[in-house]
Amino acid sequence: MKEEQKRGRAIALLPIGVFLVLFLGVGIVSGDFYAMPAIVAFLIALFVAFLQNKSLSFDEKIRVVSTGLADENMITMSLIFLCAGGFSGAVNAAGGVESTVNFGLSILPSQFAVVGLFVLGCFISLSMGTSTGTIAALAPIAVGISEKTGFAQTMCIGAVVCGAMFGDNLSVISDTTIAAVKTQGCDMKDKFKANFLIILPAAIITVVIFGFITKNGNFESVQNLSFHFARIIPYILVLIGALIGVNVFVVLIGGTVVSLIVGVVTGSISTMQMFSVVGDGVMGMYDITVISIIVACIVALVREYGGIQFILQLIRRRIHGEKGAQAGIAALALLVDMCTANNTVAIVMAGPIAKEISNEFGVDSKRSASLLDIFTSVGQGLLPYGAQLLSAATLTGLTPFEIMPYLYYPVLMAVSALLFIFFGKSSKKQ
């Protein structure tokens, strides 16, 4: 590692600042957040990253970027996007979304529809272990519920994202949870218990908030609530597969195949359309996949230039006492996630430093693992350039900033965790 990288360099964070200034600035000035496409802002930020650090040749920078793109998490996330797109295209063409929405509204009072989206998102993400997969499965249903009930589409998709982040942070098969446990050296069951106690108040309050703001919801178009139960089967199978812990790829590909079969049998899809509807769904995810690739390139260069190391050192120098150590781990996790836009990568990068901090100040490993997982999920659930909000926006035609006002759960999760840090029992190792 080069000396400049060891001491960290604040200027290495410039590309991220450029993106935020462009994306937010143009949207605020023009009053239209569609005015600056995210991909264009990211490309400009990547160009800035390539112009930095004259000590590296262009070829060396290309090698750094290639290493970042070869990361297992990056490849996995991109493949999940494409599989989710295929499932979304197939189940839409088969009429699954319309039937599922109508079935749900026929048995569930409209004022509980948004709460239902949040709770369902919690269960699916907890079982599937992926927030992006959960968003891909539920976003079309959220749009349909919005159309039927009159609730804002931004609120409905916000409830889905909130639910998705619940399981992403807590699921025992989530890559973020596994990374947090491995880097901190604690047992999965201990981390789960500690983590659950911290986030449970946030989940309960989120249910109360969504219930309160939708309590006057009503709809009357009963004649439009017809549904074909066979078309709901793909969603049921996806839910069951997620609940029993089937691999997310198997769940999504299996759901796609079943959707095509149901569509052909019910006459919604002709045999000749089977491949085209899947292709249309996959193409709908091209934007978010390309954006994820560009973000991975930027992060690789920022890391190489010492930007992440700067954050790590900045936090570590300001820690005092056990509660201060916990707050430092929380800040460390959040800031690294803001720089990487990937909570698994952030945990892997911040984990060793968090372990040093917890050892030095006596923080229990299960608490440090929980804080790492919680605050990277807080960042990931709120970042307008994170995969979760970008995929939700791509699937619904919204912008991340339109969804953000309804992201109660990530904010409450942070508040709950901070209260546990400063007012809860000591987490000192026994």
Query: Which is more confidently placed, 89 or 60?
Result: 60
Question: Which structure tokens are listed for 343?
Answer: 């909570």
Residue among 248, 233, 247 nearest 136 (CA): 248
Q: Go through the chain and tell me how many residues it has.
A: 430
Mean pLDDT of 232-253: 77
Per-residue model confidence (pLDDT) at position 33: 60
DSSP element (H, E) containing 300: helix 286-305
Would you state the pLDDT for residue 218? 61
Give the per-residue pLDDT at 2: 43
The more confidently predicted of residues 232 and 24 is: 232
Say if residue 243's pLDDT is above 80. no
pLDDT at 4 over 60: no
106 pLDDT higher than 80:
no
Q: How much is the pLDDT for 300?
A: 87
Lowest mean pLDDT among 101-105, 207-211, 226-230, 290-294: 101-105
Q: Band the pLDDT of 161: cuts 50, 70, 90.
A: very high
pLDDT band at 321 (very low <50, low <70, confident <90, very high): confident
Convert the pLDDT of each residue in 264-281 to its tens digit.
998 888 888 889 989 988
Cα 351 to its chain centre, rounded Å, is 19
- pLDDT digits over 59-81, tens only? 999 999 998 888 776 787 678 77
What pLDDT digit, counting tens, does each position of 348-359 carry? 777 877 887 888
Is the predicted pLDDT of residue 173 greater than 80, yes or no? no
Q: Which residue has the higher pLDDT, 131 or 411?
A: 411
Q: What are phi and psi of 363, to 5 degrees?
A: -80, 130
How far are the Cα atoms of 156, 256, 291, 354 from residue 281, in angstroms, in the given order? Answer: 21, 10, 17, 40
| Per-position DSSP letters for 189-231, written without gaps between them | HHHHHHHHHHHHHHHHHHHHHHHHHTTT-----GGG----HHH
Check residues 223 and 9 and name the one with the higher pLDDT.
9
Backbone angles phi, psi at 57, to 5 degrees: -75, 165
Looking at residue 363, what DSSP letter applies?
Answer: B
What does the alpha-carbon distance between residue 161 and residue 388 come to, in Å, rounded to a whole number? 7
- How distant, in Å, are the alpha carbons of 112, 199, 213 from that of 403? 19, 21, 16
Residue 3 has pLDDT above 50, yes or no: no
Q: What single DSSP character describes residue 428? A: B
pLDDT at 225 over 70: no
Residue 252 pLDDT > 60 = yes
Of the chain, the percentage scoring pLDDT greater than 90 comes to 25
Give the model's pLDDT for residue 6.
Answer: 56
Q: Which residue has the higher pLDDT, 101 or 365?
A: 365
Each residue's pLDDT tens digit, 378-427: 999 998 888 899 889 888 888 888 999 999 999 999 999 999 998 877 65
What phi and psi values does residue 412 have, to the nearest 5 degrees?
-65, -35
Reply yes or no on whether the pLDDT at 370 is more than 90: yes
